[in-house]
Amino acid sequence: MAQPDGELDLWLEQARSGDADAEHRFLVAARTILLRWAVVRTAALDEAEDLTQDALIKVRERWSQFEGRAQCTTWLYRVLQTTHLDRVRRRAARSRAESRAAGSVEGSSPCVRLENGLTDLVQRFLGALSERQREIVNLVDLEGYSPEDVAGMTGLSSSTVRVHLHRGRQALRTQIEEIWDHD
């Protein structure tokens, strides 16, 4: 489970006042929290580490803007969320430009084809969930946050969080049942 918000809030306040030890404690704790969330968002450890690093840079640059109206983890989550969206947009634009310039190149080795097949399967399962469902299922089922906590983190109502959670779980269950039925 995540670092208690009280400690994070305290370390952040001390770090903002110039306490180097508190800054270190805060950034280490924030990195752990952000990395867990980033792994779920990206489904790839290398990419998650890059996303976490980018988010930590933004956290450090913007911590003077944290007003304390929300929990510290809520703020961290929102920074990660916007950083991820920025990265996805940049990647999509770069991919479109590269495709136009060079054309799409497919790997031909068996290992590359197997990796592409597994990646496609994972993408298909995750793709069946909306971004919001994937986000909420992760926070509630994998991270252990309550729907009320997730509501505060995402800016949604508790009932909306519960609806997305139910639909996300239902979609995952359906996909698993389809795989079992085909075997």
List the domain boundaries for the chain. Answer: 1-105, 112-183
Q: Does the structural domain 1-105 have CATH classification 1.10.1740.10?
A: yes
pLDDT tens digits, 79-132: 999 899 888 777 776 766 666 665 444 444 666 555 566 556 555 676 778 889
CB atoms within 10 A of CB 5: 17
Q: Which residues in the chain land under pLDDT 70?
A: 1-5, 93, 95-124, 126, 182-183
**What is the predicted pLDDT for the residue at 64?**
86
**What is the predicted pLDDT for the residue at 1?**
43
Q: Does the structural domain 112-183 have CATH classification 1.10.645.10?
A: no
Residue pair 2/73 in contact by the 8 Å Cβ criterion: yes
Instruction: Find how far residue 152's CA is from the centre of its chain.
Output: 16
- Which is nearest to 130 in space by CA: 164, 175, 84, 80? 164
In sequence order, the 6+-apart residues with CB closer than 8 A to the CB of 82 are 58
Instruction: Find how far residue 138's CA is from the centre of its chain.
Output: 9
Residue pair 36/143 in contact by the 8 Å Cβ criterion: yes
**Using alpha carbons only, how large is the chain's radius of gyration in Å?**
19
Residue pair 26/8 in contact by the 8 Å Cβ criterion: yes
Put residue 33 in one of left, alpha, beta given phi > 0 → left and psi -120 to 50 → alpha: alpha
**What is the predicted pLDDT for the residue at 105?**
46
